Amino acid sequence: MAPPYGLEKALWYKFGIFFVALCTGLWLIPMKRWSFSRSQIGWWVSSVALTIASTGVFLNYTSLLDRWTLIFFNNHRIVIGQTLTEAGTREKNTLIHDGDQVDDLRLLRSADGDAYAIWLKDEILHRSRSLTVWYLGSLFLLSSAAINVSQAIYCASSRNAC
């Protein structure tokens, strides 16, 4: 599951991807040091722990994604806020006065997809950054779990007996 629409263009998101790749590459250091068959138990334990952690972080990310974004156009998710701007409050009151159904998607449509016109910009940016951190965290933990499983299998191989 990718981050919401537009976040992949942000400079801090690109730096985050680089940082995750760098941190994932740092696994080479313990892999080199503990590459013997007697190390396999530690690798299996860390594999299980990282898999559990990555699952928890990913589930939290998807929960936040469901609460903080709306599917708007062409299946793109747009980050929304909670606190309405003055214009957002006026639009909501107008919709209520006209007897229309009022929900976040209706408000977003009334602003032609401009979330900043309806919700506070700082709140949207904070949510965007939080979603990115959770997304990158789940990527790091999942890739680390895969690396640890691979290392555990390598340590358990008969060619590597110490």
Domain ranges of the chain: 7-83+119-156
For residue 2, give the nearest of 82, 53, 61, 51 by alpha carbon.
61
> What type of residue is 103?
D
Work out the burial of residue 128: count CB atoms within 10 Å of its CB; fewer than 13 is exposed, 13-18 middle, 19 or more buried. Answer: buried
CB contact at 8 A, 18 and 12: no
In the prediction, which pLDDT does 162 show?
45
Q: What is the pTM of this model?
A: 0.84
**Rg value, the chain, Cα:** 22
- Per-residue model confidence (pLDDT) at position 4: 64
Mean pLDDT of residues grouped by 10 in the chain (162 residues)? 67 85 92 86 95 96 94 86 94 89 90 93 93 92 95 81 48
